[in-house]
Amino acid sequence: MRSKLDDLLDELNDIDEHPQPIQMRNQQPLAVQTKKNKSSHREIDDLLDLVNDIDSPEPEKPAYVPSYQIPVSNSSRLQKCYPLCIGGSNLEVGICFSSASLKCCNKMRCTKCDLSVKRYQNKIWKDGCNYLFFRNNYSRDDMLQPALADANGFCAYFCQCQWRNVNEPVVLRDNQWVCGGHLGN
């Protein structure tokens, strides 16, 4: 049983040996074809026009435009605390713009564990706390509460890898805790 590929190869060999035009299967003699050429030229022209329409670049459509617009202004950019400060429960919370009026940053993140820094007001960490305790219980408030003791004026800060008790304003320099940014007003 011969395949179509064998038939094609035989035809190519015939062309190489006899450089005469070979009629394809189901093809009428050349004389009959010329009579039909006039009507088929129109059909071919129509097909070429369709192909050209497909190949020609369409006018550029505008990029996706959502049905709503989100206003963007300078006030929507994140602003960072400078200097970065933490403090006791008596220190105001918010963005700090100057060392003359320190505020405790409430958007801190840790660059080592990449988690937000949490704060408990009027609490301190008990002495038995260690790295593994915070690593395992960072997001479990029910497990953290027994490790806290009441202390007026203090704040207990922690992330998953570091913890501190603070009662006075402390400016953080060269620390792994950084301001994560506050939305501008």
pLDDT, residue 61, reads 61
Peptide bond into 66 cis (omega under 30): no
Q: What's the mean pLDDT in 142-150? A: 96
Q: Quick check: 2 pLDDT over 90?
A: no
Greatest Cα-to-Cα distance within the chain, rounded to the nearest angstrom = 110
Q: Quick check: 122 pLDDT over 60?
A: yes
Q: Quick check: 17 pLDDT over 70?
A: no
Confidence of residue 14 (pLDDT cuts 50, 70, 90): confident
pLDDT, residue 6, reads 79
pLDDT, residue 62, reads 59
Q: What is the pLDDT of residues 23-38, one digit of tens each?
A: 555 555 555 555 555 5
Q: What's the mean pLDDT in 115-124? A: 96
Query: Residue 95 in contact with residue 105, Cβ under 8 Å?
Result: yes
77-86, 107-116, 147-156: lowest mean pLDDT where? 77-86
Query: Residue 101 in contact with residue 86, Cβ under 8 Å?
Result: no
Domain boundaries, the chain: 76-183
Query: Residue 154 in contact with residue 167, Cβ under 8 Å?
Result: yes
Residue indicated by tokens 């030229």: 41
Indicate the pTM of the whole model.
0.58
The CA distances from residue 176 to 108, 115, 136, in Å, are: 10, 11, 20
Q: How far is it, in rounded angstroms, from Cα 163 to Cα 111? A: 14
Q: What is the pLDDT of residues 152-184, one digit of tens each?
A: 999 999 999 999 999 999 999 888 999 999 987
Residue indicated by tokens 């080592």: 112
